[in-house]
Amino acid sequence: MANIKEMAAHSQIDPRFGSGHSLCRGCGIPSIVRTVLSSIPGPVAVINATSCLEVATTRYPFTAWKIPWMHVAFENSAAVASGVEAAYHALKARGELSEPMTLVVFAGDGGTYDIGLQALSGALERGHRFIYVCYDNEAYMNTGIQRSSATPFGASTTTSPAGRAAMGKPEPRKNIVEIVAAHRIPYVAQAAMSHWQDLSNKVQRAYHAEGPAFLNVLSACPPGWGHEPRDAVRVVRLAVDSGYWPLVEVIEGHWRLSYRPSERVPVMQWLTLQGRFRHLFQPDQEEALEKIQTIIDDEWERMTQRDAQSASWFASEQARRWEVLPTLPDSWEPRLGEPMWEHFRKTPNPA
């Protein structure tokens, strides 16, 4: 487990993602990227799908990335990662490379749920070893807030506008975690930018997975969701605490909730913070509001059932291998310039 202080120290000793990018004021993506990258020991290479992250961090001739980074297109980041992984193994086999490498894909929901799904499915089925991180801001934000299949029911976007004829997106979002889990890969998880410790733990499990690992991480988007930049963390936390965004993991096919709010807050608290749901608070929209609560309740019910079904497996010896190892000795005092992450490399892979 990497805590905030270790991540902060890591990001100074081994900077991987920096300042000077053009992501919006209050964007949720950078904290996800930093948490992911500073939870991974050893060298990392990043494949980035076309998205806000890609466009805003690599404004030619500048770059916010301090590690090898590659972008090819919107739809094929998982295929690119497959190729890079194959090349890595080939170079290693020829003796031209000996260092370990973790391959991380960052893609948006559009690039994952929609246009990149075929490439992703292929790569998962072939079993390439990489950590695929979908930062989910629930729409095509870079091109100006168009609906994606991750956009929730009722949300207004430029292509599912709320008005006289419609009340935002009429379809519920699709469940990408179930789709990915159906590929029977070793590790699948859903996380949120607000719950950084949970996210960091999940990244470390993904790192240890011998095969593809997938993380779907909720990321705030002030202009796209219609909230103040300062509320970015609060909005995402409410998504989790209302049960709209369950924090789950699927380990070797076994589902569990990694976090359970002590009491689920009414989804209204989450909805009212965001302009994309504003139209739902006009008269005559009770039905839509009820439907949103029902979608969430049903989903929560399904998750708790699955969680209960897996309880015995998670108590088993097999599950123990997935406990996140303490990655640093207790006595460790971080000092700048010290190769603290050497420790990681020496930590045996539990698998």
Ligand X SMILES: Cc1ncc(C[n+]2csc(CCOP(=O)(O)OP(=O)(O)O)c2C)c(N)n1
Judged by the rule CB under 6 A, the positions of this chain that interact with ligand SF4 are 23-24, 27, 29, 52, 56, 137, 141-142, 221-224
Coil, helix or strand at residue 197: helix
Of 41 and 168, CB closest to ligand SF4: 168
Residue carrying the six token digits 């733990």: 201
> Which one of 163-171, 260-268, 273-281, 333-341 is the stretch in contact with another protein (CB under 8 A)?
333-341
Instruction: Looking at residues 103 to 132 of the shown chain, list those that interact with ligand X (rule: CB under 6 A).
Output: 108-111
Buried b / exposed e across 56-70, counting CB within 10 Å, b at 16+?
bbbeeeeebbeeebe
Torsion angle defined by CA atoms of residues 15, 17, 20 and 22, in that order, rounded to the nearest 10 degrees: 180
Instruction: Looking at residues 82 to 121 of the shown chain, list those that interact with Mg ion (rule: CB under 5 A).
Output: 108-109
Q: How far is CA 232 from CA 35, 115, 294, 312, in A?
A: 16, 27, 25, 37
Torsion angle defined by CA atoms of residues 309, 195, 80 and 349, in that order, rounded to the nearest 10 degrees: -70
**Member of 1, 42, 43, 56 binding another protein (CB under 8 A):** 56
Q: How far is CA 69 from CA 6, 15, 54, 106, in A?
A: 24, 14, 10, 10
> Which one of 77-85, 114-122, 158-166, 331-339 is the stretch in contact with another protein (CB under 8 A)?
331-339
141 touches ligand X (CB under 6 A): yes
Residue nearest to Mg ion (CB): 108
| Distance from C-alpha of 55 to C-alpha of 262, rounded to nearest angstrom | 39
**Member of 42, 43, 83, 334 binding another protein (CB under 8 A):** 334
Residue carrying the six token digits 């979608």: 295
**Residue 46 contact, options Mg ion, ligand SF4, ligand X, none, Cβ 5-8 Å cut-off depending on partner type:** none
> Which one of 12-20, 119-127, 129-137, 210-218 is the stretch in contact with Mg ion (CB under 5 A)?
129-137
**Member of 76, 137, 157, 258 binding Mg ion (CB under 5 A):** 137
Q: How far is the CB of 343 from Mg ion (least distance, A)?
A: 36
Coil, helix or strand at residue 60: coil
From residue 223 to residue 242, what is the string marking binding to another protein with x (rule CB under 8 A)? x----xxxxxxx--------
